Structure 1
Amino acid sequence: MAGTRWPLAALLGTWGLTRLLLLLFVLRVFVFPGADVTTDVSVIYHGWYEVLRHGTFPLDDVTWQYPPAAALAVLAPGTLPFLDYPTAFFLLALLADLAVLSLLGYAGRRPGKSPRGAWVWVAGLPLLGPTAYARYDVMVTAVAVAAVYAGARRPRVMGALAGFGAMVKVWPVLLLVGAVRLRAWGAAAATAAGVAALFAVAMPGAFAFLAFQRDRGTEVESLGALVFHVARHFGWRGEVLLNYGSVEFLGPYVALVSTAALTLACAVFGWLLLWRLAATRFRPHSLADAAFTAVLMFTTTSRVISPQYMVWLIGLAAVCVSFRGTRMGRPALLVLAATLVTVLEFPIGFSHVVVGDWYGTGLLFLRNGLLVAATLLAARRLWRSTVPADRTAPLPGLPTRTKQAPVSP
Structure 2
Amino acid sequence: METRTAGRSLAWLLTTWGVTRVMLLLFVFQVFVFPGPDVTSDVSVIYHGWYDVLRHGTFPLDDVTWQYPPAAALAILSPATLPFLPYAHAFFVLACFADLTVLALLLNSGGRSGRSLRGAWTWVAGVPLLGPTVYARYDVMVTAVAVAALLAGARHPRVMGALTAFGALLKVWPALLLIGAVRRRAWVSAVVTAAGLASLFAVAMPGAFAFLTFQRDRGTEVESLGALVFHVARHFGWSGQVLLNYGSIEFVGPHVDQVSSAALALTGAAFGWLLLWRLRATRFTSYTLADAALTAVLLFTVTSRVISPQYLVWLIGLAAVCLSHRASRMAAPALMVVLASFVTVLEFPLGFSHVVLSDGYGITLLVVRNGLLVAAALTAARRLWRSTIPPAAAAPFPPQTTRTRKTPVSS
TM-score band w.r.t. shorter chain: over 0.9
Q: Choose 1 or 2 for highest CA Rg.
A: 2
Answering whether residue 144 of structure 2 is matched by residue 142 of structure 1, we say: yes
- Measured against aligned partners, the alpha-carbon deviations of 1:226-274 in whole angstroms (never above 9, x if no partner) come to 0000000000000100000100000000000000000000000000000
Q: Which residue of 1 aligns with 2:163?
A: 161
- Measured against aligned partners, the alpha-carbon deviations of 1:304-339 in whole angstroms (never above 9, x if no partner) come to 000000000000000001100001000000000100
Alignment of structure 1 residues 171-186 onto 2, 5 Å? 171-186=173-188
The one of 89, 92, 99 equivalent to 1:90 is 92
Look up the SS of the partner of 1:242 in the other structure. strand
Q: Aligned partners of 2:288, 2:128: CA distance in 1, in Å?
A: 27
Q: Which residue of 2 aligns with 1:381?
A: 383
Q: Which residue of 1 aligns with 2:27?
A: 25
Q: Which residue of 1 aligns with 2:122?
A: 120
Q: Aligned partners of 1:4, 1:321: CA distance in 2, in Å?
A: 17
Q: Aligned partners of 2:358, 2:4: CA distance in 1, in Å?
A: 54
Q: Which residue of 1 aligns with 2:36?
A: 34
| 8 A contact 1:278–1:391 mirrored in 2 | no
Q: Aligned partners of 2:75, 2:328: CA distance in 1, in Å?
A: 32
Alignment of structure 1 residues 288-367 onto 2, 5 Å? 288-367=290-369
Look up the SS of the partner of 1:281 in the other structure. coil
Alignment of structure 1 residues 44-55 onto 2, 5 Å? 44-55=46-57
Give the superposition deviation at 1:390. 1.2
1:343/1:270 Cα in 2 relative to 1: closer, same or farther (>3 Å)?
same
Q: Which residue of 2 aligns with 1:12?
A: 14
TM-score by structure 1 length? 0.95
Q: Which residue of 1 aligns with 2:286?
A: 284
Give the superposition deviation at 1:5. 1.4
Look up the SS of the partner of 1:58 in the other structure. coil
Look up the SS of the partner of 2:316 in the other structure. helix
Q: Aligned partners of 2:173, 2:187: CA distance in 1, in Å?
A: 15
Gaps of 5+ in 2: 395-411
Q: Aligned partners of 1:17, 1:241: CA distance in 2, in Å?
A: 38
Letter in 2 for 1:355: L
Letter in 2 for 1:372: V
- Calculate percent identity across the aligned residue pairs: 74
- Measured against aligned partners, the alpha-carbon deviations of 1:87-121 in whole angstroms (never above 9, x if no partner) come to 00000000000000000011111000000000000
Structure 1 vs Structure 2 CA RMSD: 0.9
Q: Aligned partners of 1:119, 1:391: CA distance in 2, in Å?
A: 40
TM-score by structure 2 length? 0.95
Look up the SS of the partner of 2:136 in the other structure. coil
1:391/1:296 Cα in 2 relative to 1: closer, same or farther (>3 Å)?
farther
Alignment of structure 1 residues 243-282 onto 2, 5 Å? 243-282=245-284
Look up the SS of the partner of 2:249 in the other structure. strand
Structure 1 runs (4+) deviating above 6 angstroms are: none
Q: Which residue of 2 aligns with 1:369?
A: 371
Q: Aligned partners of 1:275, 1:139: CA distance in 2, in Å?
A: 30
